[in-house]
């Protein structure tokens, strides 16, 4: 079988990463979570006082710091998971908090930030045999990806899933707050000037509102049979 690039884009909390990971595992491909890179950059901003008391980002300060932000992924054998590292520190758990989710779309609006992330993502994918999820993978990062998927689901169902996930991790959250965060991120992601969230014209839509992971895998296998 030839090695290809698979781009998985879509709205927040659609289960993109679960799905993309399952595809990567099935094919023996690498999985890259591009959102983790924007999240780690946001964490850097939070750790270095780049948001004021009202939560407003000092964009020039973050842009100036970009050369000092190094993001890598490393496999943790003990936990059997890929972990995100920010300048040699494992930040895998910290980047999943609501504090980061709350700010990340503002960081992802910045053109200079996107350029740095896209460059890194393209490097990671140049050998192919990769599944990457995000918002602009099929449109900007890998416009020539052999298989593009655009995921969507009912916002209320997405909020419930994210709520269950945060709850399971022991985070104290209010479901209305989770839903508001999802809607706000969708809004910012779709309306930003630089590479907004869009379905690539050649992407296949997957609405998984009422689908199990198994059903989604059957869907993907049918497509893969044709592509590979």
By CB under 6 A, name the binding residues for ligand C5P: 12, 34-35, 38-39, 104-105, 108, 134-137, 185, 189
Q: In what order do the strands lie in the sheet with 81-86?
A: 71-76, 81-86, 89-90
User: How many Cβ atoms from other residues are within 10 Å of residue 149's Cβ?
Assistant: 28
To which residue do tokens 């399952």 refer? 22
Q: C-beta of 35: minimal distance to ligand C5P in Å?
A: 2
Euclidean distance between the first and final Cα of the chain, in Å?
6
Nearest to 148 by CA among 31, 33, 14, 9: 9
Beta bridge partners of 33: 133
Q: C-beta of 137: minimal distance to ligand C5P in Å?
A: 6
Q: Is 16 annotated as a binding residue?
A: yes
Q: C-beta of 225: minimal distance to ligand C5P in Å?
A: 27
To which residue do tokens 């998984």 refer? 208
Beta bridge partners of 147: 6
Instruction: Name which of 125 and 134 has its Cβ closer to ligand C5P.
Output: 134
Q: Is 90 annotated as a binding residue?
A: no
Instruction: Name which of 78 and 149 has its Cβ closer to ligand C5P.
Output: 149
Q: C-beta of 87: minimal distance to ligand C5P in Å?
A: 19
Q: Is 70 annotated as a binding residue?
A: no
Q: Is 195 annotated as a binding residue?
A: no
Please, what's the b/e burial string for 152-172 (b: 16 or more CB within 10 A of its CB; e: otherwise)? Answer: bbebeebbebbbebbeeeeee
Instruction: Name which of 34 and 216 has its Cβ closer to ligand C5P.
Output: 34
Helices 98-107 and 34-47, axial angle in degrees (round to 10): 100
Instruction: Name which of 29 and 185 has its Cβ closer to ligand C5P.
Output: 185
Instruction: Name which of 4 and 186 has its Cβ closer to ligand C5P.
Output: 186
Contacts of 81 (CB under 8 A, 6+ apart): 75, 92
Q: Is 18 annotated as a binding residue?
A: yes
User: How many Cβ atoms from other residues are within 10 Å of residue 21's Cβ?
Assistant: 17
Q: C-beta of 222: minimal distance to ligand C5P in Å?
A: 25
Q: C-beta of 41: minimal distance to ligand C5P in Å?
A: 9
Instruction: Name which of 4 and 8 has its Cβ closer to ligand C5P.
Output: 8
Q: Is 31 annotated as a binding residue?
A: no
| Residues that constitute the known binding site for ATP | 10-18
| Residues that constitute the known binding site | 10-18
């Amino acid at each position: 079988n030839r090695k290809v690039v698979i781009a998985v884009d879509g709205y927040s909390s659609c289960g993109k990463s679960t799905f993309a990971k399952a595809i990567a595992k099935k094919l023996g491909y690498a999985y890259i979570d591009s959102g983790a890179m924007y999240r780690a950059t946001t964490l850097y901003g939070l750790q270095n006082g780049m948001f004021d008391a009202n939560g407003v980002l000092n964009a020039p300060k973050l842009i100036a710091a970009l050369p000092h932000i190094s993001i890598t992924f490393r496999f943790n054998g003990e936990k059997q998971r890929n972990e995100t590292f920010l300048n040699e520190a494992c930040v895998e758990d910290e980047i999943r908090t609501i504090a980061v989710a709350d700010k990340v779309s503002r960081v992802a609006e910045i053109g200079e930030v996107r350029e740095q992330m896209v460059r890194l993502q393209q490097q990671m994918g140049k050998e192919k045999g990769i599944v990457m999820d995000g918002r602009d993978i099929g449109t900007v990062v890998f416009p020539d990806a052999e298989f593009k998927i655009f995921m969507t689901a009912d916002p209320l169902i997405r909020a419930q899933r994210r709520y269950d996930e945060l709850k399971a991790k022991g985070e104290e959250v209010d479901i209305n707050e989770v839903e508001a965060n999802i809607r706000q991120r969708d809004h910012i992601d779709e309306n930003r000037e630089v590479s907004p969230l869009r379905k690539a014209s050649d992407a296949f839509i997957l609405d998984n509102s009422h689908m199990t992971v198994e059903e989604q895998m059957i869907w993907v296998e049918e497509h893969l049979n044709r592509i590979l």
